[in-house]
A and B are shown apart, each in its own frame.
Chain A
């Protein structure tokens, strides 16, 4: 698809796959290095970048494995440059050790996960079964990654730019949790120039840039001394995660005022659900959609707000998994909505709902 992309001046809307938009956004956001290993359904990103990064005189390297790729990311990030890797579920599992190290070393980087069916090699169809892996850490230790979940090609493009800014601002890894549907989807989108999120980003005075004329910097994840060194380090990280939770909760709601039923869904599922919801609205039903755009920090305050405004409302969580985000919905709403009013619809491993299936499920609940 990439070779058909015409970025000419006649119109600004261009046509690309989600995976290709991810690659172009990274270049526009100043990503200097990209290290990855191919895997379906994200291979269009390395394919696209293998050509574009050479054109832009940037570093593209197909590593010998996912583990090598993430450790290259670790090194490049420590040197203070913007760096990205991408993979799909089994490859992201391999990267977890590296992600834990990067989080422990307080380094910024962007990781793209185009989720496919699991466990194990699973299949190549879209899935959302990596929600726990992305939002609960994935690797060892008490760390969090910011997780952004796009649901259109435009958002793939915009969120990758945001991801680089957020990573640099908070010094944490940022994961784009995509899925096989949005990654493979072809849609027109506005390929605007890089839009920075922050007026000024903190200087990278911790980076390993050669220490001539200054004290050496050390990037490390091992805290043996002083004896409470690790405790202090983890406290500092925890403070940062609390700050992120306070400042960064993105969500979108549709038709949630005076709703009888609110669907909670993200990524491709949110769009499939929206088709079904619109059909019900046309039939006079009051149904809304709540879509988290950040999976971590989860937009709990926003969801509670909606629940408080709609007394007696029921929630239906729809996921391409057997119930992972469901736990966050239950935790957020535990003091506001009785547990019996929080329902779930989903299946694991390479299954995707259709508008008709969701329509029928809603019908069943409203009866």
Chain B
């Protein structure tokens, strides 16, 4: 990664683990010795409505916590795609949950779209909640912004104490997402 900041948008509906995926990413950055700063939507959000997390990653000090134009995105459902796609910088990689977003119907102009059948894969793994981490795995492979080892180390910290048991399925989900593309 160069001196440029990577500004990541993770969006989906409330309950898809958008903010958790952001936390895993932030812990992974701590492990990798990178600076990170994250903002999640708060307050007047509704169950089933759109939720988002914005994460800045850089090798230098991060000044502004406000991100206007993300240059990398994970989008987990159709309403979020419609709502946020125009905020993303043209040409940026966008990882899309193709289980919930019909890729034949979305406008792909300028974006480097990678479809991941994340929700269906997660159901087959036995836990629908890991769709977010599958997509995170694909995003890391696609962009190489972090070493996979940093992400799994980050997950060890994100899933701790009572959540320790969730580490293993999330680790497998991450590997699966990572190996989906070459």
Which A residues fall within an 8 A CB radius of B? 1, 3-4, 6, 8, 11, 13, 15, 40-41, 124, 181-182, 184-188, 268, 271-272, 274-276, 278, 352, 354-356
CB distance from B88 to the nearest CB of A (A): 16
Is A15 touching B26 in the complex (CB atoms < 8 A)?
yes
A6 to B65: give the CA distance in the assembly, Å: 23
Residues of B within 8 A of A274 (CB): 63-64
Is B42 touching A184 in the complex (CB atoms < 8 A)?
yes
Contact of A4 among B37, B40, B43, B157 (CB under 8 A): B157
Given known A-B contacts A181-B39, A185-B37, A4 and B66 have beta carbons under 8 A apart: no
Which B residues fall within an 8 A CB radius of A? 19-20, 22-23, 26-27, 29-31, 36-40, 42-44, 63-66, 68, 157-163
Is A354 touching B66 in the complex (CB atoms < 8 A)?
yes
Is A356 touching B39 in the complex (CB atoms < 8 A)?
no
How many residue pairs at the A-B interface have CB separations less than 8 Å? 83
Is B40 touching A184 in the complex (CB atoms < 8 A)?
yes
Enumerate 24 A-B pairs (CB-CB under 8 Å) in ascending A order.
Answer: A3-B162, A3-B163, A4-B157, A4-B163, A8-B157, A8-B160, A11-B30, A40-B42, A124-B42, A124-B44, A182-B65, A186-B23, A186-B37, A186-B38, A186-B39, A188-B26, A271-B64, A272-B65, A275-B64, A276-B64, A278-B63, A352-B66, A354-B68, A355-B68
Contact of A188 among B36, B65, B159, B160 (CB under 8 A): B36
A173 to B65: give the CA distance in the assembly, Å: 30
A278 to B62: give the CA distance in the assembly, Å: 11
CB distance from A331 to the nearest CB of B (A): 28
Is A356 touching B68 in the complex (CB atoms < 8 A)?
yes
Given known A-B contacts A3-B163, A15-B27, A352-B66, A185 and B39 have beta carbons under 8 A apart: yes
Contact of B40 among A182, A186, A268 (CB under 8 A): A186
Q: Which residue of B lies closest to A185 (CB)?
A: B65
Residues of A within 8 A of B29 (CB): 188
Contact of A124 among B23, B43, B162 (CB under 8 A): B43
Beyond known contacts A4-B27, A11-B31: 17 more, CB 8 A cutoff: A1-B23, A4-B20, A4-B160, A6-B157, A8-B157, A15-B27, A15-B30, A15-B157, A40-B42, A181-B39, A186-B22, A186-B23, A186-B39, A187-B36, A188-B36, A272-B64, A352-B66
Residues of B within 8 A of A355 (CB): 63-64, 66, 68
Q: Which residue of B lies closest to A153 (CB)?
A: B37
Given known A-B contacts A186-B38, A187-B36, A188-B30, A4 and B68 have beta carbons under 8 A apart: no
Contact of B66 among A3, A15, A188, A272 (CB under 8 A): A272
Is A40 touching B38 in the complex (CB atoms < 8 A)?
no
